[in-house]
Amino acid sequence: MSSKSFFLSWIPGACLILLASCSTPSKNLTRYEFERPQMGVPFRIVLYASSSKLAAETAESAFQIISDLNMIFSDYEASSETSKLSAQSGSGKSMTASPEMLLLLEKSLALSKKSGGAFDLTVGPLVGVWKKARREKKLPSKSTIEETLTRVGWDKIQLDRKQGAVRLVATGMKLDFGGIAKGYAADEALKSIRRAGMSRALVAAAGDIALGEPPPGAKGWKIELDAGNGGKTFLSLRNCGLSTSGDLFQFLEIDGKRYSHIIDPRNGQALEQSSTATVIAPTATEADSLATTFSVLGPDHSSILTSKHRAIEVRFLIKQGEKTAVKVSSGFMKYYHTHEQSLARSAPGGWKILE
């Protein structure tokens, strides 16, 4: 068996760069890579296939699935299902929803409930207010936030499961799937690649990745994370989702305070602390939505979600002046690559500050 190294460079919340590929793979499988802008980010597909034709056709179908999902979940496209639903808010009318929409509504509402409203799809109007603030470099007034909050709240989504219909109760509501749809699209694209018989594949939507079986001869996909101290940390992952959320790159700065693109729907404020949350979960849908949720909850309140769901692990990078603190859930380090695994075994349970 030839030695192989598959490096994926992970820059939190921003982009994913393939550093190096492999030598000739075993069992006549060749590595193929495709990239296309979708949902406002570069979507990347890496797969191992027996021919370039099969690889290209499979990737094309997967990109088509992502594009179809965009036409359901985009809040930019006026003709998307999400935009149509938001346009009907407050009218008293219900809209029949697609199975995909119903599924993500169910998953999102369950997470809203579990997280006490930290994750909330109805955050759209607040996202608009804070986008304007970023553009104008001026904080929104208290009264603007208060008025906007009357159009926000997951309890204002009424789901009729039997009829497969949904109604938004208040006028001027706007659903925003930005914290979950990319992970879901990555999962669905990966599923379609698996259905075509290629299990050794990965789909990455910027910071949200769905990982299948690893490359031939490898135990996992090697993912590079920013270690928070200028260095790098490597993860070895397979058959799971990985996602990073946070504001180390995207923020508004006023009077020395940084305001994130992630909003706390409970008080209408953009997050102030400069941090990223990296989540490993069974699927990219969960990793994506939980990374956004953990960013809102912060390390001190996130263990409610990790301890109840053993397969969920999170790492926080928190900027504290010139330094960056790293906090990890008890099982996160078992995914560290090679020599770092010995450190994981000796790690105590609970949160651990590494530096």
Residues that bind Mg ion (CB under 5 A): 179, 245, 288, 291-292
Residue 315, interface with ligand AMP (CB under 6 A)? no
What is the rounded CA–CA span in Å between residue 186 and residue 209?
6
Give 224 or 286: the residue with its C-beta nearer to Mg ion.
286
- 3-class secondary-structure state, position 185: helix
Which residue from 80, 112, 114, 110 is spatially nearest to 97, judged by alpha carbons?
A: 80
What minimum distance in Å lies between the beta carbon of 292 and Mg ion? 4
What does the alpha-carbon distance between residue 83 and residue 76 come to, in Å, rounded to a whole number? Answer: 8
Residue 166 binds: one of ligand AMP, Mg ion, none (C-beta under 5 to 8 A by kind): none
Phi, psi of 29 (to 5 degrees): -95, 135
Q: Of 264, 311, 263, 261, whose CA–CA distance to 116 is shortest?
A: 264
Pick one of 62, 66, 263, 328: the residue that binds ligand AMP (CB under 6 A).
263
Nearer to ligand AMP, 218 or 271 (CB): 271
Q: How far is the CB of 180 from ligand AMP (least distance, A)?
A: 7
Contact status: 262 vs ligand AMP (CB under 6 A): yes
Minimum CB distance to Mg ion, residue 181 (Å): 9
Residue type, 256: G
Residue 206 interacts with, from ligand AMP, Mg ion, none (CB under 5-8 Å by kind): none
Closest alpha carbon to 137 in 281, 300, 251: 251
Query: Residue 242 interacts with ligand AMP (CB under 6 A)?
Result: no
Point out which span in 16-24, 45-53, 148-156, 260-268 binds ligand AMP (CB under 6 A).
Answer: 260-268
In angstroms, give the least distance from the CB of 277 to ligand AMP: 8
Contacting ligand AMP (CB under 6 A), which of 265, 327, 332, 333? Answer: 265
Q: Is 279 in the site for ligand AMP (CB under 6 A)?
A: no
Q: Are strands 7-11 and 221-226 parallel, antiparallel or unpaired?
A: parallel
- Helix residue ranges, H only, 94-222: 99-114, 124-136, 142-149, 181-195
Nearest to 70 by CA among 108, 32, 50, 100: 100
Nearer to ligand AMP among residue 48 and residue 154 (C-beta):
154
Angstrom distance (rounded) from CA 226 to CA 21: 20
Name residues whose C-beta falls within 8 Å of residue 317's C-beta, 6 or more positions apart in sequence: 12, 226, 228, 246, 248, 275, 276, 278, 324, 325, 326
Query: Which residue is closest to Mg ion by CB?
Result: 292
Give me the least distance between CB of 281 and Mg ion, in Å please: 11
Residues ≥6 apart with Cβ < 8 Å to 196 = 54, 57, 58, 61
Tell the smallest beta-carbon distance from residue 120 to ligand AMP (Å): 5
Residue identified by tokens 């699935």 is: 65
Q: Which residue is nearest to ligand AMP (CB)?
A: 178
Stretch that binds ligand AMP, among 57-65, 173-181, 220-228, 316-324 (CB under 6 A): 173-181
The reply to whether 176 sits near ligand AMP by the rule CB under 6 A is yes
- 302 makes contact, choosing from Mg ion, ligand AMP, none, with CB < 5 to 8 Å by partner type, with none
The CB-of-295 to ligand AMP minimum distance in angstroms stands at 6
Burial, 164: exposed, middle or buried (Cβ in 10 Å; 0-12, 13-18, 19+)? middle
Is residue 290 a contact point for ligand AMP (CB under 6 A)?
no
- Mapped onto helix, strand or coil, the DSSP state of residue 10 is strand
- Shortest distance, CB of residue 171 to ligand AMP, whole angstroms? 21
Q: Does 247 bind ligand AMP (CB under 6 A)?
A: no
Q: Which of residues 25-84 bind ligand AMP (CB under 6 A)?
A: none
Listed ranges 148-156, 176-184, 298-306, 317-325: which one lies at the site for ligand AMP (CB under 6 A): 176-184
What is the C-alpha to C-alpha distance for residues 334 and 355, in angstroms, rounded to an integer? 18
Distance CA 113, CA 115 (A): 6
Element holding 211 (H helix, E strand): strand 208-211
Can you give the binding site for ligand AMP, defined by CB under 6 A? 119-120, 123, 127, 176, 178-179, 245, 261-263, 265, 288, 291-292, 296
